[in-house]
Amino acid sequence: MMTIKEIKKLLGWCPDQKMVKNVAKNIEFSNYIDTVHEVNGGRFQTLVVGLHFVVAIWLIFTALKVLSNHLIFPWWIMNINLVASSLILVIGLVSLIIAFDLGKIKSSHRMLSLINIAFVITFFVYLSQYLARIRGGSGFLMLFSRPFINYSFDILTLTTFSAFVIIPSLLTLRFRPNQKEGKTGKGIRPLLIVLLIILVVTTGIGAYYVYLNQQKDNMLIGEFGDGGEIKLYSVEDERYSFGWSEDSTYVIDSKESTSGHAISQDTYDAIQFLKATDTSNVLSWWDYALETKIAGKEPVINYASENIKWTVARPTAIEEYDSEDKVRDVANFFVYENEEESQEIARKYNADYIFVHYPWDLWKFSAIVTASGKDPGDYIKGNFTTNKEWMKEVENRTLAKKDTVGIKMIYGDEVDGFEKVFENDDVRIYRVK
């Protein structure tokens, strides 16, 4: 800070002491403001560095944890995990570079932040194609668990997750270069490191993708359908598929469908039985179209109808639909309480056999009732807090409110107008009389 004597020298001798003192006060206040700005700026920069570091560690851990699960079935879930994990891995590594170097070359960090923002937007747009229908669960902690459940975000959780990831990069854009960066090489070095990161991550994920597909090929036991698009795998390690019980020893998958899933030995035996029949058309809910095709038969419906797409786990991933009228007919077959009405629908589509699964068709029954145009609450209980609670209702046969044709078949009852020709723990098959 300048003294009065120094001010006199700059201004020349001036007898107006009051003016000199005012100038000194103004300079002193200006210096004080600059100091305050410098301190606040330092605190803000420390905050941004901390955010970058926390987000970086979290994203890197999340990506590597998901990739370590070796999940390869169904094919589209494997692709989601690989693509989404590679994107957040790059975002995390770039944030780590910014966190360790933020106080040195600010202009290049603005560029790195723009790169990160572009990757977050790509992450959001990619996963918006595979939005999930989340059942139950809420709160902030649930947000962080979604990547570990195959990135199963709905639009709200995906938006919130992306916003949280993008905040450090947006804050970094507030920095303005206030110093010369010296040699040009120092300015572009972080950008070159990012390009190297993208190259390494892309190459590594690509090699991992090839490795996982080699594991698939080793498990393949059969190809079915036109061009062999439906594949049957024997899976001994349950890590390779998700969401099914330990007795699911097979997986049906198809690049032409997003309904690939694991099946049990009982379901495999039911497929073999169906294969030996002389029927051509089989009536079941659309989830079992792949089982029907492996048996060499034609399902009455292959897909959900568009009006019930929100009953599907990943509704935005659906690319094909069956007609609303046909899906409604099949739904009514299971919802009708009059066996003759159900028989008429089976005959309408020349279906000689009915394929039902216990207990999963009970899990799907709300969607089936919805497709029929009726209120699920009139037919089946809902809003269970745990799977154990739901299963208890299933075993006690207190889940369904009405004894419809579908409910009778799922439980393996005798049904007028139909003959039960196959039954094991998981599957019942009926023939139309």
Residue spans per domain, the chain: 19-216, 278-432
Average of per-residue pLDDT across 109-116: 88
pLDDT attached to residue 32: 40
Pick the closest to residue 96 from 49, 62, 133, 134 (CA basis): 49
Strands 427-432 and 418-423: antiparallel
pLDDT attached to residue 256: 79
pLDDT attached to residue 108: 76
Question: 313 or 423: whose pLDDT is higher?
Answer: 423
Residue 10 has pLDDT above 60, yes or no: no
Structure tokens at 143: 């947000």
For residue 254, the surrounding DSSP H or E stretch is strand 250-254
> Would you place residue 211 in the very low, low, confident or very high pLDDT band (cuts 50, 70, 90)?
very high
pLDDT attached to residue 43: 74
Residue 13 has pLDDT above 60, yes or no: no
CATH code for the structural domain at 278-432: 3.40.50
Mean pLDDT of the chain: 85
- For residue 111, with 0-12 CB atoms within 10 Å meaning exposed, 13-18 middle and 19 or more buried, which class applies? middle
Residue 228 has pLDDT above 90, yes or no: no
Q: Are 134 and 154 in contact (CB under 8 A)?
A: yes
pLDDT attached to residue 41: 46
Structure tokens at 314: 């990943």
For residue 250, the surrounding DSSP H or E stretch is strand 250-254
pLDDT attached to residue 238: 62
Q: Are 299 and 316 in contact (CB under 8 A)?
A: no
> Would you place residue 42 in the very low, low, confident or very high pLDDT band (cuts 50, 70, 90)?
low
Q: Specify the range with the lowest mean pLDDT, choosing from 21-25, 98-102, 212-216, 375-379.
A: 21-25
Residue 133 has pLDDT above 60, yes or no: yes
Return d(Cα 136, Cα 310) in angstroms, integer: 15
| CA distances from residue 368 to 195, 286, 302, 321 in whole angstroms, order as listed | 50, 10, 14, 15
How many other CB atoms are found less than 10 A from the CB of residue 78?
A: 21
Tell me how far apart the terminal alpha carbons of the chain are, to the nearest angstrom. 103
For residue 224, the surrounding DSSP H or E stretch is strand 220-224
Return d(Cα 214, Cα 299) in angstroms, integer: 31
What percent of the chain clears pLDDT 90, i.e. is strictly above it? Answer: 61
pLDDT attached to residue 193: 83
pLDDT attached to residue 35: 40
Residue 166 has pLDDT above 50, yes or no: yes
C-alpha 12: how far from chain center: 75
Q: Are 233 and 221 in contact (CB under 8 A)?
A: yes
pLDDT attached to residue 18: 54
For residue 220, the surrounding DSSP H or E stretch is strand 220-224
Q: Specify the range with the lowest mean pLDDT, choosing from 191-195, 278-282, 343-347.
A: 191-195
Q: Are 177 and 106 in contact (CB under 8 A)?
A: yes
Residue 320 has pLDDT above 70, yes or no: yes
Residue 218 has pLDDT above 80, yes or no: yes
Average of per-residue pLDDT across 168-197: 70
Question: 124 or 258: whose pLDDT is higher?
Answer: 124
Tens-place pLDDT, residues 48-79: 888 999 999 999 999 999 999 888 888 899 99
Average of per-residue pLDDT across 162-190: 72
Average of per-residue pLDDT across 183-205: 80
Q: Specify the range with the lowest mean pLDDT, choosing from 192-196, 210-214, 375-379, 405-409.
A: 192-196
Q: Specify the range with the lowest mean pLDDT, choosing from 116-130, 169-183, 211-225, 308-322.
A: 169-183
Question: 288 or 46: whose pLDDT is higher?
Answer: 288
